[in-house]
Amino acid sequence: MTAELIEQLAATIGENVYIDVAKWHLYLRDTKMHTALAEKLYPLLSAGKLTSNQLDDLLKNIPVSLGGGKVELSLAELLPSQSEANLMEAIEEFQRNL
C-alpha cells in the first residue's frame, strides 16, 4: 500500500511541478526526479501535516546536477514560485486523501 501511495504522489508531482532552465519548463517526470522527491516527502506526510519550512528545507537538500555535473544547484533554486505553489497544492491534496 505504501508503494502505491508513493507512486500516486510521484505521478501528481511529475505532472504539476517543473524546474525552470532558460525559460524551459522541465516537468519533474521528464527529469526523473518526481519519484525521488515523493519518496522523501511521503514519510513527512504520513507523520502529519508538512509545513512550508519543512518543504523548503527538503528542497534545499536535493541536489540537481547541471552541465554533466559541472554545476550543482538545489531543487529549491530551480523551482519557480508558481511551480513551488503547484507542489504545495499537490501535497495538500494528497494529505486530504490520506
Structure confidence by residue, pLDDT tens digits, 39-76:
999 998 888 878 889 999 999 999 999 999 999 999 99
Average pLDDT in the chain: 92
End-to-end CA distance of the chain: 11
Q: pLDDT class for 26, splitting at 50, 70, 90?
A: very high
Backbone angles phi, psi at 78, to 5 degrees: -100, -10
